[in-house]
Amino acid sequence: MLLAQLCMADIRQFFICHKELFYTTYTGWPETKKDYVARFLGREYQVDKAGTRAALFGHEASMEMDTDQAKEDLIARVGPWGAVRRC
């Protein structure tokens, strides 16, 4: 949100990251700028929301993982005997 406040010229990030301030600021803009921003967001953001958010925030892994897969992942990370503690 802070970056969106500092870079309000990046309309897409401003819209995505700080909606409250975006809409407050939007109401004070002249009609020509409002029209431009609405068309820009429709063209640049609404067309590929998932791609835009992935570019801004990175890939989001699925929250669903079965317990067998979680166990295999843990074994792959720490080995079959668990984590080794170092003194």
Of 49 and 15, more confident: 15
Kindly list the domain boundaries of the chain, sorted by start residue.
2-78
85/87 Cα distance (integer angstroms): 7
Q: What is the pLDDT of residue 87?
A: 60
1/4 Cα distance (integer angstroms): 5
Q: What is the pLDDT of residue 44?
A: 80
Q: What is the pTM of this model?
A: 0.55
Buried b (16+ CB within 10 A) or exposed e, 8-33: eeebebbbbbbeeebeeebeeeeeee
pLDDT tens across 18-35, in order?
889 889 999 999 999 999
How confident is the model over 54-78, as a mean pLDDT?
Answer: 67
Q: What is the pLDDT of residue 39?
A: 92
pLDDT score of 14 more than 80: yes
44 three-class SS: helix
